[in-house]
Amino acid sequence: MASTPGAEHDYVIVGAGSSGSVIARRLLDRGHSVHVIEAGPADEDERVHSPQGWPMLLQSELDWAAMTEPQRHAGGRRLYWPRGKVLGGSSSLNGMIYVRGHRSDYDAWAYQGCTGWDWDSVFPLFKRSENHMDGASEWHGGDGPLPVSRIAEPHPTAAAFVDAAMALGHPLTEDFNGERMTGVGFNHTTTRDGRRMSAWQSFMAPVVDHPKLTVTTGARVHRVLLEDGRATGVEYAADGALHRARAASEVVLSGGVIGSAALLLLSGIGPAAHLRDVGVEVAVDLPGVGENLHDHPLVSNVYEATRPLPPGTANLLESQLFASTDPRRPGPDLQPLFLHLVYPAESYEMPEHGYTLAAGIVRPLSRGTLRLASADPEAAPLLDPNILAERYDMEAMVDAVEICREIGAHAAFDDWRKAEAAPGPEARTREDLREFVRRAVGTYHHQVGTCKMGQDSLAVVDPELRVYGVAGLRVADASIMPSISSGNTNAPSIMIGEKAADLLTAAG
């Protein structure tokens, strides 16, 4: 897919991921011309489309395979961050879990000055996207572009996880997007008829031949073009040459938590001192660009199985639990997730056959930064999430590990459990578990926050997603989240795309 260099469209969208795909579709539906520019290739790899294919995509040519800076509170380790480099972005690489988060997530955004982003305002946008297999209901949409399905035949070990958690007092939750999020249950997934339904496949594949659409793949955007304080397009590298794409109306950055922030910095929009340090000419001194980087930490409680596990029919991530460290919280802050495969715990010897109870937290307090390594637009930025810097994050992670071990030791797993491989039976005390977390903590792949929405001095975009100090430029992806949603971030990113499309067309 290629473009005509120098051609002008109403909108230029950088990034064809969870948000960018939605924005492009909605703008096309409303009569606008759109140029979508994606760094990765078309989504033709069969591993993308199989719900069981995502482990094979990690560290493949379709993965940016970002690595963090050494993490001071995690044994000086560099953490691996998968990020999709393909049409569909990370929605072509993820585990396909559809979770919106708790209503208090969005109400908190509104209380922080992000008016129009409270739960009552965004809930209809979630429903508008959705084509739930059960049809329209109080909690779900039935005629949107995004297929959402229940898991028809749960894996026996995923069912054992649910049975064990219920026996330990956790309530059954039939729908994490329904009336009560807290509890244990089976996931709803962005799949249909045994196929992954990425944002690109759901929103854009049906209209890919639209006469007002141009899609450019294999193109690395180097900078936003600025003229008299306004974004007029972007400059990008493709096929060994530099090209320019012009926007008659606006430029939208949907490159994700890494790509959008890095592109702003490369364009001279960010903390002036940092830009000068790396040799980028300052266009707008915007201190918050690259601040507020955070993520859902995860660590693998791994078990060796008594025998090889049968293959699953769904997404390998079929059941999970939302729980709270304190019942007085308005929503959950823990998210243990079950995988009927070995999801390795770093530096621990892993069994050939096994399963994983992944301990995770969903309301982390630690915050870090994204910075440029240099003015070279092809250089990977410096990622420092400062993971586990806050005491709460460590203690909540240990709480989550303890819950996973209780579930993993329950009689419901007796037929499958041979031995605990990580952290292993020698880990007995909370300090032992803290050391396990430091040694093996990784990520849920839910990075957010580097182009924070708000009204404070570190906000990058206003509640209409307009970049402060630049006309005609918006950011719309998970990077705008002031604080992370309490669950998997794909559904919220799609909602952000819906909201952005409404804001763009209201302005246009």
> What residues pair up with 252 in beta bridges, in sequence order?
13, 474
Average pLDDT over residues 79-86: 98
In a domain, 239, yes or no: no
In whole numbers, what is the pLDDT of the chain averaged over residues?
97
Task: Say which residues have a Cβ less than 8 Å from residue 495's Cβ, sequence separation at least 6.
Answer: 100, 122, 125, 126, 129
For the chain, how are helix, strand and coil distributed in percent, rounded to 5? 25, 25, 50
> What residues pair up with 184 in beta bridges, in sequence order?
172, 321
pLDDT for 452: 98
Asked whether residue 4 carries a pLDDT value surpassing 60, the answer given is: no
Token pair listed for 12 = 């230029």
Average pLDDT over residues 50-77: 98
Set 35, 102, 340, 446: catalytic member? 446
Task: Say which residues have a Cβ less than 8 Å from residue 157's Cβ, sequence separation at least 6.
Answer: 309, 338, 340, 355, 413, 416
| CA 490, 163, 132, 96 torsion-angle sign | positive
pLDDT for 507: 83
Tens of pLDDT, residues 172-193: 999 999 999 999 999 999 999 9
pLDDT for 3: 42
Encoded amino acid at 272, one letter: A
Domain containing 345 — which CATH number?
3.30.410.40
pLDDT for 2: 42
> What residues pair up with 419 in beta bridges, in sequence order?
304
Tens of pLDDT, residues 327-355: 999 999 999 999 999 999 999 999 999 99
Residue 482 sits at the vertex; the CA angle it makes with 146 and 358, to the nearest 5 degrees, is 65
pLDDT for 280: 98
In a domain, 162, yes or no: yes
Among candidate residues 192, 208, 204, the one with its CA nearest the CA of residue 148:
192
Token pair listed for 312 = 């699953």
Tens of pLDDT, residues 438-448: 999 999 999 99
In a domain, 103, yes or no: no
Among candidate residues 468, 90, 442, the one with its CA nearest the CA of residue 297:
442
Q: Are 393 and 365 in contact (CB under 8 A)?
A: yes
Q: Give the span between the Cα atoms of 376 and 391, in whole angstroms.
A: 36
Query: Got the DSSP string for 111-131?
Result: HTT-TT-SHHHHHHHHHHHEE
Asked whether residue 454 carries a pLDDT value surpassing 90, the answer given is: yes
pLDDT for 160: 98
In a domain, 421, yes or no: yes
Tens of pLDDT, residues 352-370: 999 999 999 999 999 999 9
Asked whether residue 44 carries a pLDDT value surpassing 50, the answer given is: yes
Q: Which residue has the tokens 């639209």?
A: 210
Token pair listed for 228 = 């008299």
In a domain, 316, yes or no: yes
In a domain, 476, yes or no: no
In a domain, 206, yes or no: no
Count of CB atoms situated within 10 Å of the CB of 166: 18
Task: Check if 446 is active-site.
Answer: yes
The percentage of the chain sitting over the pLDDT mark of 70, rounded to a whole number, equals 99
Among candidate residues 501, 507, 503, 499, the one with its CA nearest the CA of residue 30:
501
Task: Say which residues have a Cβ less than 8 Å from residue 130's Cβ, sequence separation at least 6.
Answer: 140, 141, 142, 144, 146, 148
Q: Give the span between the Cα atoms of 489 and 491, in whole angstroms.
A: 6
Q: Give the span between the Cα atoms of 222 and 367, in whole angstroms.
A: 27
3-state secondary structure 182-238: CEEEECEECEECCEECCHHHHHHHHHCCCCCEEEECCCEEEEEEEECCEEEEEEEEE
pLDDT for 6: 57
Among candidate residues 485, 161, 493, 84, the one with its CA nearest the CA of residue 316:
161
Average pLDDT over residues 125-131: 98
Q: Are 60 and 39 in contact (CB under 8 A)?
A: no
Average pLDDT over residues 445-474: 98
Q: Are 499 and 42 in contact (CB under 8 A)?
A: no
Task: Say which residues have a Cβ less than 8 Å from residue 198's Cβ, sequence separation at least 6.
Answer: 21, 43, 48, 87, 88, 89, 91, 92, 190
Asked whether residue 5 carries a pLDDT value surpassing 70, the answer given is: no
Tens of pLDDT, residues 189-235: 999 999 999 999 999 999 999 999 999 999 999 999 999 999 999 99
Q: Are 458 and 292 in contact (CB under 8 A)?
A: yes
Average pLDDT over residues 89-108: 98
Among candidate residues 223, 250, 216, the one with its CA nearest the CA of residue 42:
216
207 is in an annotated binding site: no
What order do you get walking across the sheet with 188-189 strand by strand? 130-132, 146-150, 188-189
Judge if pTM exceeds 0.75. yes
444 is in an annotated binding site: yes
In a domain, 408, yes or no: yes
Helix, strand, or coil (residue 134): coil
Token pair listed for 50 = 């199989």
Give residue 420's domain range. 152-186+294-366+389-440
Q: How many domains is the chain built from?
A: 1
